[in-house]
C-alpha cells in the first residue's frame, strides 16, 4: 500500500499525505510546500509516507 501512496504523492503530494495521516498539520504544511514549489511538496510527502506507520493496519 505504501507504494501506491508514494506514486500518488509524486502526482499529487497533498493527496498522498492525506491518505497517510488525514487532515492535520502535515497535510496543510504539504499544501503550502506544494504551492511554493512542487518538488518540496513531493519530498515532504514521500518523507511523511516513509516515516509514518500506517495506523489503519493495527
pLDDT band at 1; cut points 50, 70, 90: low
What is the C-alpha radius of gyration for the chain, rounded to an integer number of angstroms? 10
The Cβ of residue 13 has, within 10 Å, a number of other Cβ atoms equal to 25
Tens digits of residue pLDDT in 5-33: 899 999 999 999 999 999 999 999 999 99
CA distance linking residue 36 with residue 38, whole number of Å? 7
Q: Are 1 and 54 in contact (CB under 8 A)?
A: yes
- Residue whose grid cell is 500500500: 1
Give the 3-state secondary structure of residue 51: helix
Amino acid at each position: 500500500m505504501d507504494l501506491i501512496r508514494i506514486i500518488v504523492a509524486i502526482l499529487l503530494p497533498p493527496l498522498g499525505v492525506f491518505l497517510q495521516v488525514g487532515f492535520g498539520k502535515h497535510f496543510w504544511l504539504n499544501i503550502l510546500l506544494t504551492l511554493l514549489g512542487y518538488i518540496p511538496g513531493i519530498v515532504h510527502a514521500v518523507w511523511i509516507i516513509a516515516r509514518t506507520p500506517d495506523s489503519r493496519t493495527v
